[in-house]
Amino acid sequence: MNIFAILCFILHTGVQGFLQEQWLPCRLWDVHVWKKNDGQTESKYVQKDVVLQFASSGDSALYPDSITFLVGASKVDMRKYVEGPVDQLRCEIHRYSKGMSRVRWPSLGGTEHDIWFTCTLRHIAGLFNITSYLRVTPATTMSPHQPDFHSWVTLAGKDKLRASAVMVLMTRSPSVWVGLQEKQTLHCKFAVDHEVSDLTVEWHLDPFRGRRTRLFRYSRRSGQTEGSGVAVNGIARGTASLTVPLTGRSSEGTYWCSVQVPPLIGSLAIGLHIMVPPSVSMTIEQSLIPRVVCKADRYYPMEPQDVDIELFKETGNGERPKKLENVTHLSHITHPDDGTITLSAYVLLRPSPLESGCGIYSCRVKHVSLQGLYIHKTITETGCFTWIHLTSPGLMCLFAVIIMFIAMATRRSVCKSRTR
């Protein structure tokens, strides 16, 4: 059975099929590394379809024609963190390099020349990310003077790799949307297959604007803690979640939860985004030329594709509201106190002999915070306009009367001046 047949079977059987059969189709991102003539290192990524099989010692591969990772029983089985149907999962396996490190993994069977992979399960709706660190046996001989990736063996079409999961790192908040001035907890949990004496937990922030900063660091070996936001007593239970006290524009960015157990350093990314929906209002401003104004007030973010204002007019004759094309958008206004944005759009009330000055105006505002929905506001125009239809001779008479009144007023003014 090929990998596509495997996937079809899983989609058909769902969660129970995965738990009973104990395998999952994965995408392997293999790396070919070599040295060029000038001594520089060159690398190339190659995608391959593989099978992830949870097996006991001595079990053979279920699908001998596919590359198979045979993962043995472990204290840190990633499957216990999975929620929901299997067809919502995406599985990826990557090479993991220790560089020049030759530190031996402390648990049973570890050597200084172990080969490492990471296996990540992602929920397509963003409910969780789970990364397991796999130690593959048997180990290969590595040069003490070169990084380990120079000794990687290329995987062929039917290779079988026996591996054990030794550490797992997961989050149930891969991407977070939050309002201003709110408290938010970024979930990070880990587990290791042995009692750890040399453990370091760190949090970093890569802001969308600005430099990377370290928010927290805890070292079990030294007992020192720097920064805040993580409950140190929870780290002993594998909980390293970070609480962001009050969110603002400076809180936006990618947060990195890192757990270091030599020779491994595991990291996972959590994106935090500020999202504030607009407050929408409509008014009729009276000026030399009245206008209908729609205002989207104090929203965030402000990217052009994130907000749209449209104006419509309904004449009351039973027809559907007509979208107005002569709409003018004013410049964005940024509020310095919190960084939110205000945008206004208006249409001038210029009725013509063919169009009534009366009507019901509506405004429709779209913003990314509304998740595809719209905010609608409606206002009814009062003080309707009345137009007088005049023929060309009528217009000439009107102009003549106006000129006569102007002349009479001028003559009276001159007479008064002479009398004085």
Residue 31, pLDDT score = 85
pLDDT per residue as tens digits for the range 323-340: 998 899 999 899 998 889
Q: Do 321 and 181 belong to one domain?
A: no
Phi, psi for 28 (deg, rounded to 5): -95, 130
Residue 8, pLDDT score = 44
d(CA 247, CA 179): 7
Q: How many domains is the chain built from?
A: 2
Among the listed residues 221, 257, 226, the one whose alpha carbon sits nearest the alpha carbon of residue 239: 257
Residues of the chain with pLDDT under 70: 1-21, 138-145, 304-305, 316, 350-358, 382-420
Q: Do 60 and 127 belong to one domain?
A: yes
Would you say residue 379 lies in a domain? no
Q: Do 256 and 291 belong to one domain?
A: no
pLDDT per residue as tens digits for the range 92-107: 999 998 888 878 888 7
Residue 357, pLDDT score = 54
d(CA 215, CA 226): 8
Would you say residue 396 lies in a domain? no
Q: Which of 223, 253, 274 is the last residue of a domain?
A: 274
Q: Do 270 and 291 belong to one domain?
A: no
Q: Do 109 and 223 belong to one domain?
A: yes
Listing DSSP states for 36-73 in one string gives -TTS-EEEEEEEEEEEEEE--TTPPPS-TTSEEEEEPP
Q: Do 125 and 209 belong to one domain?
A: yes
The CATH number assigned to the domain holding 115 equals: 2.60.40.10
C-beta of residue 66 within 8 angstroms of C-beta of residue 50: yes
Q: Do 106 and 210 belong to one domain?
A: yes
Q: Other C-beta atoms within 10 Å of 298: how many?
A: 18
Residue 39, pLDDT score = 73
Would you say residue 250 lies in a domain? yes
Q: Do 43 and 180 belong to one domain?
A: yes
Buried b (16+ CB within 10 A) or exposed e, 143-165: eeeebbbeebeebeeeebbbbbb
Would you say residue 359 lies in a domain? yes
d(CA 4, CA 218): 45
Q: Do 194 and 266 belong to one domain?
A: yes
Q: Other C-beta atoms within 10 Å of 192: how many?
A: 21
Q: Do 295 and 196 belong to one domain?
A: no
Q: Do 15 and 129 belong to one domain?
A: yes
Q: Do 250 and 301 belong to one domain?
A: no
Residue 140, pLDDT score = 65
Structural domain boundaries enclosing 353: 279-372
Buried b (16+ CB within 10 A) or exposed e, 118-129: bbbbbbeeeebb
Angle, vertex CA 177, rays to CA 171 and CA 178, nearest 5: 115
Would you say residue 308 lies in a domain? yes
**Residue whose token pair is 């290329």:** 154
Residue 398, pLDDT score = 45
pTM, rounded to two decimals: 0.77
